[in-house]
Amino acid sequence: MAGAREGTARSTAGRTAGEHGAPDVVVVGAGQGGVETVAALRARGFPGRITLVAEETALPYQRPPLSKGYLLGTVDRAGLELRPDDFFSALDIDLVRGDRAAGIDRDRGAVELDSGRELPYGRLVLATGSRPRRLPVAGADLEGVRTLRSLAGADELRGRLTDGRELDVVVVGAGFLGLELAATARTLGHRVTVVEASARVMSRVVTEAVSEHVAAEHRGQGVRVLTRREVVALHGGTGPEDPGHVRVVELDGGERLAADLVVVGIGALPNVELATAAGLLVGDGVIVDPRLRTSDPDVYAVGDCARFPSPWTGRHVRLESVQNASDQARRVAADILGETGPYTALPWFWSEQYGLRLQMAGLTAGHDEAVVAGDPDAGRFSVFCFRAGRLTGVESVNRPADHGISRRLLASGTDLTPRDVARPGFDLRAHAQQRSAPPAQQAPAAQHAERPVHA
């Protein structure tokens, strides 16, 4: 580690360096990416000063359960926490809660907080996440129209969904988030309609086979799933009691859906304002290099807010997933400690709806061949996606072994062909076991994924 310290000290000459010769590190945003960055720095022995700035007052928490177990009531607040209360002080990490980074003075190397406090940095990590896109129609600001991103928002939503009344819930957008919310609301006993503008659910991120299976599951559970339909306006009640509260969702074509609660899940926008104001390169995300450094080499960006060059697509992408935020955080921590190198981790993602376990390995956008293996009728199958004959991603429904093995195969490179998968009785487990010697490392295939892939 001595060499690493020398490295950081040298490149921060003239910048704030603490008593250990290590740069002061400031991390903005205490979500998945921010917390994993500071934890990984300490786990790897970083001796310098670390400050983690959290706009939210809640102890840093995980977001995935917000639309699943937490909303349902099967995961409690303690189960959400990324780390317990005393974790940060025990590791000498200054966690500043309930304050917001308002500006970055790159010339002086300092972050200014809303409270007026100033935090000098030698290295700065932006982990500001993303925020829900708003529905761009009239009535979107009525009461009872919600998005879901934060714990506070989940608590409010849970209040509405569990106050004993059976509600008409309209979910706008059939991405992962919208469908998870629909599943949870339905499980809690509400009448649920999902409205999706494109031809099928989760169309941006999964193949038709998975899309259809998931839509069928929702319909089987009693959810109305409308595709190729757009919301054109939201209307308040006509009664004197609730003029400001949403009661009707108007669709193109004129259909009007009754609604006591409208949940909007139409994607997220990266929180780039700080970076933009600081003059960093920005464009649907803070643009970073393969080492996850912004256009200022002392400033990194990780997680939902970062747009990075992915070796898996051959172009810049922005991914919204726990995997991406966590693995980028670890990479940046290593980079700060002098173990420099490109970020190359294989993307993967999961979602849970009712009892369905959906898992995605790699990036399947831009595939030209998809082969289904397993038993779709029994609700256990995987879709193997190929581009130019090479495996680029695998989607699994209730097949966790396929998912895990696929991650290994994709990461190390595989010569699995569409024909192998299509063979009757194909079993990925057996295939992986047969191949004792790992295949030669291959360069990941280039494919297309211009939009944020997981919403």
Partner 1 sequence: MAKITYKHPNGTETIVDVAAPNTVMRGAKTNNIDGIEAQCGGSAQCGTCHVYVDEANTLPLPEMHESEDEVLYGTACPRRDNSRLSCQLPVSEEIDGLVVHLPEAQS
Ligand X SMILES: Cc1cc2nc3c(=O)[nH]c(=O)nc-3n(C[C@H](O)[C@H](O)[C@H](O)COP(=O)(O)OP(=O)(O)OC[C@H]3O[C@@H](n4cnc5c(N)ncnc54)[C@H](O)[C@@H]3O)c2cc1C
Q: Which does 33 bind (CB under 5 to 8 A by kind): ligand X, partner 1, none?
A: ligand X
The dihedral through the CA atoms of 215, 221, 226, 230 has a sign that is negative
**How big is the site for ligand X, counted in residues (CB under 6 A)?**
36
In total, the chain counts a number of residues equal to 455
CB of 60 to partner 1, least distance (A): 12
Distance set, CA 280 to CA 100, 301, 435 (Å): 19, 11, 47
Q: Per rule CB under 6 A, is residue 32 in the interface with ligand X? A: yes
Q: Per rule CB under 6 A, is residue 101 in the interface with ligand X? A: yes
Which span (23-31, 220-228, 363-371, 437-445) binds ligand X, by CB under 6 A?
23-31
Q: Which one of residues 119, 145, 274, 432 is an interface residue with ligand X (CB under 6 A)?
A: 274
Binding residues for ligand X restricted to 173-192, rule: CB under 6 A: 177
Amino acid at 192: V
Q: Token pair of 293, please?
A: 């450094």
Q: Which does 271 bind (CB under 5 to 8 A by kind): ligand X, partner 1, none?
A: ligand X
Q: Which one of residues 1, 43, 138, 199 is an interface residue with partner 1 (CB under 8 A)?
A: 43
Q: CA-to-CA distance for 265 and 382, rounded, in angstroms?
A: 26
Query: Closest Cα to residue 24, out of 34, 35, 32, 16?
Result: 16
Q: Per rule CB under 8 A, is residue 27 in the interface with partner 1? A: no
Binding mask 406-445 for partner 1 (x = CB under 8 A): xxx--------------------x----------------
Amino acid at 2: A
Query: Closest Cα to residue 370, out of 355, 382, 386?
Result: 386
Amino acid at 312: W
Q: Token pair of 183, please?
A: 């599943």
Which span (47-55, 81-89, 117-125, 439-447) binds partner 1, by CB under 8 A?
81-89
Q: Per rule CB under 8 A, is residue 327 in the interface with partner 1? A: yes
Which residues are within 8 A (CB) of 199 and not within 5 positions of it... i.e. 6 or more apart? 227, 228
CB of 130 to partner 1, least distance (A): 18
| Furthest-apart CA atoms within the chain: distance in Å | 73
Indicate the DSSP class of residue 284.
S
Q: Per rule CB under 6 A, is residue 56 in the interface with ligand X? A: yes
Chain Cα centroid distance, residue 45: 28
Q: Choose between 390 and 403: whose C-beta lies nearer to partner 1.
A: 403
Write out the residues near ligand X by the rule CB under 6 A: 28-34, 53-56, 63-64, 66-67, 100-101, 127-129, 148-149, 177, 271, 274, 303-305, 320-323, 325, 349-351
